[in-house]
Amino acid sequence: MNAKIEKNIITGMIISDEFLLGIQHIYHPLQVPFAREVAKWCMDYYAQYKKHPGEHIEDLFLANKDRMTEEEEELTSTFLEHISEEYERGDKFNVNYILDSAEKYFRTLSLQELSKKLSTNITKGNIDKAEGMVKTFERVARPQTEGINPFEEEVIKRAFATDSGDELFKFPGALGDIVGHFEREHLVSFVGVGGIGKSWWLMWMALLGLSEGYKVVYVSLEMSQKQMVKRIHQYINACPTKPYTDLLLPVFDCDRNQRDCCEREERKGRKGIYDENEEVEKFVMVMRRGYKICLECQEDYKHAIWYRKVDRPVLSEEMVLEKNKAVYGGLLRKNRFRFIKYPSKGAKMDDLKVHLQNIENFEGFIPDIIVTDMADKFSPEDNRQDMRHQVDEIWGAHKAMAQERKCLVVTASQSNTMRTEKDIRQGDWKESVGKIQESDISFALNQKPEEKKRGLMRVKVLKQRDDDFDLTSQIHVLMSYKIGRPYLKSYMEGGKR
């Protein structure tokens, strides 16, 4: 376990100025010999150049390897090869969480050393010396400030820094424009009626983060491993799991553009794009050569949903394995995704905390994003409380997990609008509105039966803690679960497309 912790500490020293600055006041010599040597190189390099070594760690290795034994040289070389992927993704390294973990680790080492010395002196009868050790013992801890002055230049710069590592990723299109980046310590939630596709959106969030190079833990209390694997590869391949005679994908396009009645100069000369006499289903686009979808106008744009016929093969094992060669180890990278399955109501938040600590201690896996599907499916620590307090406890634990682990946490909940079939509002959370109070960003997924047939989802922002938002506006999102895509394109009413 020490080796995994020390690997994370060394990685931070190699790739982050912030980490080196934070650790220099609490550093304790590491236990693994070659790790202790690499740490010394990093500390010396920082003392001289006031920056992390980064890729120059290879030069430091070459400069120092002659002083190593053959075994030490081999171990150090292997170690640096294993963490090379980590310092390639330095901007995604969870600095604050690893600093917290390093501080706890150094405190443990310090106490272990004190315990050994006390035991030795007590055994030898050196009681005065043992008591002196206790009195002079200094707790290992990073310098803490009681507060900050919000008018100091450095404090202002840190608050407005865009390279702090807190910003992770954002949704594409108009949906991303309205909420901006998701950040570490955020709790993001989706609310919708049963069967609307909340699990699809949670999976999409996980894969967006994964494609940006972040480590993801996906916790399911609904889907099986088999279902999850199939959904992931259906999304990646954008293919159906069963044959369709006519597979239609929704597309935004200006109605005037489709019907060839646009007066803009650049749209003229495209006769025959739409012809009601043609033997095509109404509202199905005729994608001819040279045709371009129009999403550019502001004044003359007439919003409409059309459909594009596509020919997609049914998803197969052979297809998945072939595509997997391209994305696994490349785009999505190896060893960055963990799927955890619990039975519904078969786990408590403490069970998840233990699981996360175990994969950190024994595998060195520290997630940047944790997705739970869904928070409501966890069991409370104390089921004697009334239901509202049980739910609030679980959601409070989700927010605490985001803060403690310095990561993004994403989850979902049911609404209480299924019987009324009304659109979801801020107070329409099943069991407790405490869920939205704990959330930093919250989305409502609204969809009428006829909209589902059309491939349209209406997404409304119910809460955005750090920014102003309009409760009356909504974003139209085109989707197709037939090809595993909860998002194809987004359009904001009266705004961007």
What are the helix and strand counts (H, E) for the chain? Answer: 18, 13
pLDDT above 80 for 288: no
* Identity of the amino acid at 345: K
Same domain, 353 and 484: yes
Task: Give the total number of structural domains in the chain.
Answer: 2
Choose the final residue of a domain: 116, 136, 156: 136
Range of the domain at 398: 167-242+315-492
Residue 273 lies inside a defined structural domain of this protein: no
Where is average pLDDT lowest: 166-170, 258-262, 284-288, 388-392? 284-288
Choose the final residue of a domain: 83, 115, 136: 136
Between helix 198-211 and helix 225-237 the angle, nearest 10°, is 60
Residues 408 and 151: their CA atoms lie apart, in Å, by 29
Query: What was the pLDDT predicted at 184?
Result: 94
pLDDT digits (tens, 9 = 90+) for 398-453: 999 999 999 999 999 988 776 667 888 777 777 777 888 899 999 999 999 889 98
Residues 6 and 111: their CA atoms lie apart, in Å, by 17
Where is average pLDDT lowest: 3-7, 83-87, 274-278, 354-358? 274-278
Q: Measuring CA to CA, how many Å separate 242 from each of 200, 250, 315, 316, 320? A: 18, 19, 8, 10, 15
Same domain, 106 and 173: no
Same domain, 199 and 59: no
Q: Give the SS3 label for residue 264.
A: coil
Q: How confident is the model at residue 280 (pLDDT cuts 50, 70, 90)?
A: very low
Q: When comparing pLDDT for 346 and 142, which is higher?
A: 346
Residue 216 lies inside a defined structural domain of this protein: yes
pLDDT above 60 for 146: no
Same domain, 363 and 471: yes
Residues 458 and 446: their CA atoms lie apart, in Å, by 5
Tokens of 86: 């980590």
Residues 18 and 163: their CA atoms lie apart, in Å, by 11
- In CATH, what number is assigned to the domain containing residue 448? 3.40.50.300
> Cβ contacts of residue 398 below 8 Å, gap of 6+?
187, 349, 372, 375, 409, 411, 438
pLDDT above 70 for 75: yes
Residues 440 and 147: their CA atoms lie apart, in Å, by 23
Choose the final residue of a domain: 93, 117, 136: 136
Residue 484 lies inside a defined structural domain of this protein: yes
Where is average pLDDT lowest: 17-26, 241-250, 328-337? 328-337
pLDDT above 50 for 201: yes
pLDDT above 60 for 1: no
Number of Cβ atoms within 10 Å of the Cβ of 143: 7
Residue 250 lies inside a defined structural domain of this protein: no
Helices (H), 364-485: 387-404, 434-438, 449-454
Number of Cβ atoms within 10 Å of the Cβ of 186: 21
Query: What was the pLDDT predicted at 275?
Result: 44
Answer whether the bond into residue 374 is a cis peptide, omega within 30°. yes
- In CATH, what number is assigned to the domain containing residue 130? 1.10.860
pLDDT digits (tens, 9 = 90+) for 442-497: 999 999 988 998 899 999 999 887 766 666 678 999 999 999 999 999 988 765 44
Q: Mean of the pLDDT values across residues 89-94?
A: 77
Same domain, 238 and 367: yes
Same domain, 191 and 118: no
Q: How confident is the model at residue 302 (pLDDT cuts 50, 70, 90)?
A: confident
Q: Measuring CA to CA, how many Å separate 64 from each of 20, 61, 67, 76, 223? A: 21, 5, 6, 11, 51
371 close to 352: Cβ distance less than 8 angstroms:
no
Q: Give the SS3 label for residue 445.
A: strand
Residue 295 lies inside a defined structural domain of this protein: no
* Identity of the amino acid at 455: G
Same domain, 172 and 101: no
Residues 254 and 261: their CA atoms lie apart, in Å, by 10
- Tokens 């999304």 belong to 235
Same domain, 42 and 107: yes
Indicate the Cα dihedral angle 96, 43, 28, 404, nearest 10°.
0
Among candidates 111, 116, 105, which has minimal Cα distance to 2?
A: 105
Q: How confident is the model at residue 397 (pLDDT cuts 50, 70, 90)?
A: very high
Where is average pLDDT lowest: 23-32, 58-67, 421-430? 421-430
Same domain, 126 and 235: no
Residue 226 lies inside a defined structural domain of this protein: yes
Q: Mean of the pLDDT values across residues 142-168?
A: 70
Q: When comparing pLDDT for 334 and 16, which is higher?
A: 16
Same domain, 129 and 180: no
Q: When comparing pLDDT for 188 and 89, which is higher?
A: 188
pLDDT above 90 for 307: no
Q: When comparing pLDDT for 7 and 84, which is higher?
A: 7
When the pLDDT of each residue in the chain is averaged and rounded to a whole number, the result is 84
Q: Measuring CA to CA, how many Å separate 208 from each of 212, 289, 371? A: 6, 32, 12
Tokens of 466: 């750090």
Q: How confident is the model at residue 34 (pLDDT cuts 50, 70, 90)?
A: confident
Residue 225 sits at the vertex; the CA angle it makes with 219 and 228, to the nearest 5 degrees, is: 80
pLDDT above 80 for 262: no
Q: How confident is the model at residue 215 (pLDDT cuts 50, 70, 90)?
A: very high
Same domain, 60 and 192: no
Residue 422 lies inside a defined structural domain of this protein: yes
Among candidates 33, 31, 30, 51, which has minimal Cα distance to 42?
A: 51
Q: When comparing pLDDT for 496 and 375, which is higher?
A: 375
Same domain, 339 and 380: yes
pLDDT digits (tens, 9 = 90+) for 101-140: 999 999 999 999 999 999 999 999 999 898 888 888 888 8
Residue 158 lies inside a defined structural domain of this protein: no
Q: Percent of the chain having pLDDT more than 90?
A: 42
Query: What was the pLDDT predicted at 78?
Result: 85
Q: What is the DSSP string of 405-419?
A: TTSEEEEEEEBS-TT
